[in-house]
Amino acid sequence: MNLTLKVWRQAGPTAQGRIETYEAKDIPAEASFLEMLDIVNERLVLDGQEPIHFDHDCREGICGTCSLTINGIPHGKERGITTCQVHMRKFRDGDTIWIEPFRANPFPVIRDLIVDRNAFDRIIAAGGYIDIRTGSAVDANAIPISKDKADASFDAAACIGCGACVASCKNASAMLFVAAKVSHLGHLPQGQPERDKRVLAMVRQMDAEGFGNCTNQYECEAACPKEISVDHIARLNRDYAAAVVREQLVAP
């Protein structure tokens, strides 16, 4: 396959970015999207040019590191997969592919296609954990959890924190990410003692990071490689409203 790549190049966070054109020639149809970039980079290095900088790690759709916008869509147009799971057979010979980083003010560009997603880490650090004493590990059947709650918790826990929800949202909202992290623990008995504290801290940290508001466009669900439901956002809104009321009732 012979392709034309339109790639965002940016030397650093404060540098002026630009679109550069590259020819990707003789690309195997069975290659993944990242392998295609590897091939292009090898040729750039051999020609004495600066390779294209992009993030990657597991290349198995688990880590969420491979966050690219392909033809304007985070992770590309295929549903339920990450960039590293996109294969070149999904494109046609002669296609022009536009490759850009995720666009959101809380995700500043570090270099080329790499963005800083530490804002997500700070949201998790604000409350996405259980720090009360829960005792030693017990038998799995010792704490009864209904199947619907277990399924909902597992669905939320599938979030890999890639940021596609933010990049796809016109407001750069992180509501689906935060909702998944809050809902994951909120469905479990172990998460109940800190339920109010968790949702208040994480939502307020999200706002402090500069993420936008949710306006129910649901692009986040469409772009999510793990297809996490926006139902978790509704639950987050209910939990947050209830926590705010309880906080005000006990305030001096």
Residue 176 has a CB neighbour count (10 Å cut-off) of: 28
Residues 6+ apart with CB under 8 A from 143: 189, 190
CA 176-179-181 angle, 5° bins: 110
- Residue at token pair 């490689």: 225
Q: Does domain 118-250 have CATH number 3.30.70.120?
A: no
Contact 19, 97 (CB under 8 A): no
Alpha helices in the chain, H assignment, sequence order: 33-46, 118-127, 147-157, 164-168, 175-186, 195-209, 219-223, 231-250
State the amino acid at position 55 in one-letter form: D
DSSP letter (8 states) at residue 210 = T
Helix/strand/coil percentages in the chain, nearest 5: 40, 15, 45
Residue 226 has a CB neighbour count (10 Å cut-off) of: 18
CA 207-209-211 angle, 5° bins: 60
pLDDT of the residue at 135: 67
Q: What is the pTM of this model?
A: 0.93
Q: Which CATH number fits domain 3-110: 3.10.20.30, 3.90.870.30, 3.30.200.20, 3.20.20.30?
A: 3.10.20.30
SS3 state of residue 195: helix
Residues 6+ apart with CB under 8 A from 69: 98, 99, 100, 101, 102, 103, 167
Contact 232, 183 (CB under 8 A): yes
Domain residue ranges of the chain, discontinuous segments joined by + = 3-110, 118-250
Burial class (CB in 10 A: 0-12, 13-18, 19+), 109: buried
Residue 250 has a CB neighbour count (10 Å cut-off) of: 7
3-9 and 96-100: which strand pairing? parallel
In whole angstroms, give the CA distance from residue 100 to residue 86.
15
Across the chain, which has 252 residues, the per-10-residue mean pLDDT values are 97 96 97 98 97 96 94 96 96 98 96 97 93 70 86 95 97 97 92 93 97 95 96 96 94 74
φ, ψ dihedrals at 159, nearest 5°: -55, 130
